[in-house]
């Protein structure tokens, strides 16, 4: 009796999930996929495909893919861990995964120049609704990486878009 109970204890919840899914996708279509395939289609890959991201990136003048700051940006992205890459996507778009294909993107990733008097001391800013980041015209990979890491680790609220302003960190000369 206990065995039978445990086999069916979640039937009501599973039926509710199935009814909800059926409002979006016909259940007979879902049966074609394994759970791994269905998860991939719904949530995307958990690792950021940098080739796809580069393909889906547009630049605002003066930036181009060959601009020195953008070469530093992509070098930084290559050096980031998979978790940091996901955090960068979340910083820029408020999601931590990319769509599976270029055709699945609702908008391209846009990188614009953040005008600031001291670029290597400034932080990037994100506009998550537009999948856009404003990047200072960094000239130093270490400075860019440090500022971007700080931003992606500490600026996770989308409620403050544009509220932070242009803030800078003074270097500590005693290092």
pLDDT at site 55:
98
Per-residue confidence (pLDDT) for residue 175, from 0 to 100:
47
Residue 73's closest CA among 169, 151, 127?
Answer: 151
pTM flag (> 0.85): no
From first to last of the 175 residues of the chain, give the pLDDT tens digit: 788 888 999 999 999 999 998 998 888 988 899 989 988 888 888 899 999 999 999 999 999 999 999 999 999 999 999 999 999 999 999 999 999 999 999 999 999 999 999 999 999 999 999 999 999 999 999 999 999 999 999 987 654 444 454 555 555 555 4
**Active site residue: 14, 129, 148, 155, which one?**
129
Tokens of 159: 């409620």
If you search the block for the tokens 């409620």, which residue do you land on? Answer: 159
Q: Is 25 helix (H, G, I), strand (E, B) or coil?
A: coil
Query: Does residue 148 carry a catalytic annotation?
Result: no
């Amino acid at each position: 009796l206990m065995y039978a109970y445990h086999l069916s204890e979640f039937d009501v919840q599973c039926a509710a999930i199935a009814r909800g899914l059926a409002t979006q996708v016909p259940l007979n279509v879902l049966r074609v996929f394994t759970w791994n395939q269905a998860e991939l289609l719904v949530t995307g890959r958990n690792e950021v495909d940098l080739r796809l991201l580069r393909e889906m990136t547009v630049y605002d003048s003066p930036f181009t893919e060959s601009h020195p700051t953008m070469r530093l940006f992509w070098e930084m992205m290559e050096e980031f861990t998979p978790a940091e890459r996901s955090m960068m996507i979340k910083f820029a778009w408020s999601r931590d995964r990319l769509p599976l294909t270029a055709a699945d993107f609702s908008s391209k990733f846009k990188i614009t120049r953040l005008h600031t008097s001291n670029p290597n001391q400034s932080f990037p800013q994100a506009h998550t609704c537009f999948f856009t980041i404003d990047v200072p015209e960094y000239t130093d990979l270490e400075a860019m990486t440090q500022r971007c890491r700080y931003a992606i680790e500490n600026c996770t609220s989308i409620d403050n878009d544009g509220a932070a302003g242009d803030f800078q960190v003074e270097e500590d000369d005693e290092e």
